[in-house]
Amino acid sequence: MHQSQYKSPMTPSAKVCILAILIFFSVAFLLPPPNAHAASGDSDQQKNEIEKGIKQTTINIGRLKEGIKHQEEQIRETKKVELTLLTEMQDIDSRLTEQNYKIETLESRMNKQQELVFEKKAEMNEAASLMEGVQSHVTRRMQAFYKLGEFGLIHIGFSDQTLPELLSFQDSFLAMIKYDHSLIDTYRTTISELGQAIDSLRLQEDIFEELLVENLEEQEKLDGLKQEKERLLDRIRTQAKLHEKAAAEMEAAAEKLTARLQGLKEQEKRIDQGFLYNKGAHPPPVAGTIIARFNEETTNLLGISSISKGIAIDAPIGSTVKAVDEGVVKYSGYLRGYGNTVIVNHGHQYYSINSRMERLLVEKGQRVDRGTEIGIMGETATLLTPGLYFELRKDTDYLDPLDWLDTAGLK
């Protein structure tokens, strides 16, 4: 009889799930959040850490994908085994149906055999009863015949019948006795034949009983085999669910790691092009009131008019001017037409220019972070043209600062 030779996968699904979760959380907690801003000016070190995180996350995603592939293979394998088991169980059900039909047929035949035995026994009892009656009748006749004795002169002399009549009576009496004996022999033959028929029926009944026992044993084996297949099918389906659950959890972990990887790449881009990525979110260099806008015509106290390529922010004397984003000081000093000026290179040819400050707090080549104090506003610096002058450039192109600054602190 064919048996399914299925073996459980070597890699437990629970361990795979735990591995997937550990991989995800190890990466999630060890790497910095994607939106975190550099606490120090060492962007190169941060970039190196992010590149390591990207590499490790990519490796972990690859491992998860391999794990998912393995789980999918196991799912396909369990589906094949499940299909095989279902086919085998269908065959067992068919055989059980056939076996039940055989058993019902044998039981029906045995019942008929028992009925025939009962009928034959009844016939035999009836024949025996009839034979006993004939035997009793013959015995009485024989006794009567022997009481008559042999015919002689005395019987003839004392009888009122003639000799021919007496001889005819004797012949008739003997014929009747002979007939009775013949009838008895017939009954005996009938009883013997009935006995043989009963023996034959009982022999057939024994054969049917043996066949019935064999078929019942076969039915029991098939029932046991079916139960074994059902238990195995339950285990297979449970394992399939475990593999599906493991694959789903690994898919979820892979999606989270993929999102994490995207975040790291975004963070890497923010480091490389942080100024561009933070457009509209840069803090203003000083809190105050806008008194001159981009491309607006302005006139100083000497009556000289010009088109503003930046903005002017009026703030109290002594206000601290801060860098709007991290970068390297390209210039720090007095610049003709601008006054005390600090130019910061933010990378990718983005520059911020802060002018008309009373005192400068940084030097050329110095690295600054967002919020680093670069100068202090004073009365003298804004004597001819009021307000801090702030300008943004992309290479040689002028940019409207209000498109790049968070204007919540400005009026």
- Judge contact between 284 and 405, C-beta under 8 A: yes
Per-residue confidence (pLDDT) for residue 149, from 0 to 100? 53
Q: Give 346-398 pLDDT, tens digit per residue.
A: 888 899 999 989 999 999 999 999 999 999 998 765 567 788 999 999 988 99
Nearest-angstrom CA–CA distance, 75 and 11:
13
Burial class (CB in 10 A: 0-12, 13-18, 19+), 39: exposed
Axis crossing angle, helix 13-30 with helix 43-148, rounded to the nearest 10: 170
> Could you say which of 1.10.287, 1.10.10, 3.10.50, 3.30.70 is the CATH number of the domain covering 1-272?
1.10.287
Question: Which strand (E) or helix (H) includes residue 168?
Answer: helix 163-272
Per-residue confidence (pLDDT) for residue 64, from 0 to 100? 87
C-beta atoms surrounding 258 within 10 Å: 14
Report CA torsion sign: 353, 355, 357, 362. positive
Per-residue confidence (pLDDT) for residue 170, from 0 to 100? 64
Per-residue confidence (pLDDT) for residue 145, from 0 to 100? 62
% of the chain beyond a pLDDT of 90 = 26
Q: What CATH number is given for 277-409 in this structure?
A: 2.70.70.10
| Residue tagged 């930046």 (tokens) | 310
Per-residue confidence (pLDDT) for residue 126, from 0 to 100? 82
Residue limits of CATH 2.70.70.10 in the chain: 277-409
Phi-psi region of 365 (alpha: psi -120 to 50; beta: other; left: phi over 0): left
- Judge contact between 403 and 392, C-beta under 8 A: no
Radius of gyration of the chain (CA): 60
Per-residue confidence (pLDDT) for residue 319, from 0 to 100? 92
pLDDT at 302 over 90: no
Q: Decide: pTM greater than 0.85.
A: no
Nearest-angstrom CA–CA distance, 77 and 373:
66
Q: Give 17-31 pLDDT, tens digit per residue.
A: 445 444 444 444 444
Tokens representing residue 324 in the block? 């709007």
C-beta atoms surrounding 76 within 10 Å: 12
Residue limits of CATH 1.10.287 in the chain: 1-272
Per-residue confidence (pLDDT) for residue 44, from 0 to 100? 66
% of the chain beyond a pLDDT of 70 = 78
| Residue tagged 């029906």 (tokens) | 108
User: Distance between the two ends of the chain, CA-based, in angstroms?
Assistant: 91
